[in-house]
Copies of this chain bind each other. A is one copy, B any other.
């Protein structure tokens, strides 16, 4: 299950993509547009900055902006930063110690297959896939 942290981060990145080329975007504006608590968003944004996905500058006229083109960001990398790992089970996560049952485990191949499928799915989705696609019917 993807937590709000991952989902909010993605929505924030999409928002930034929509306003790319317009200089720095203040967090206040993003929070208002996305209807997410600005305070909570600060936590998310901090991670995105420390992982070099976006940059921020203080002061009037400051805010955040993307460091690459929208099509150079995958959903997978954003989610992995926020969620820690996209692995379906702990034993497939990089930072976990190797499971002693891995040699005989009958379910491991299935988890591994699912892990690959998930990884491929989210790494093939780019930020650019989400912009300019608003439902005009409303």
Contacts and interface: CB of A to CB of B under 8 A. Distances in A.
A130 interface: yes
A89 B2 contact: yes
A94 interface: no
Contacts of A121: 114, 117
Interface residues of A, number: 30
A133 interface: yes
A52 B120 CA distance: 36
A88 B1 CA distance: 4
Nearest to A91: B7
A8 to B, nearest CB: 10
Interface in A2-29: 2, 7, 10-11, 14
A138 B138 CA distance: 61
A134 B7 contact: no
Interface string A98-119: 0001011011001100100110
A55 interface: no
Interface of A: 1-2, 7, 10-11, 14, 35, 75, 87-90, 101, 103-104, 106-107, 110-111, 114, 117-118, 121-122, 125, 130, 133-135, 138
7 residue pairs, one from A and one from B, having the closest CB atoms: A106-B130, A2-B88, A103-B138, A2-B89, A10-B107, A104-B135, A14-B106
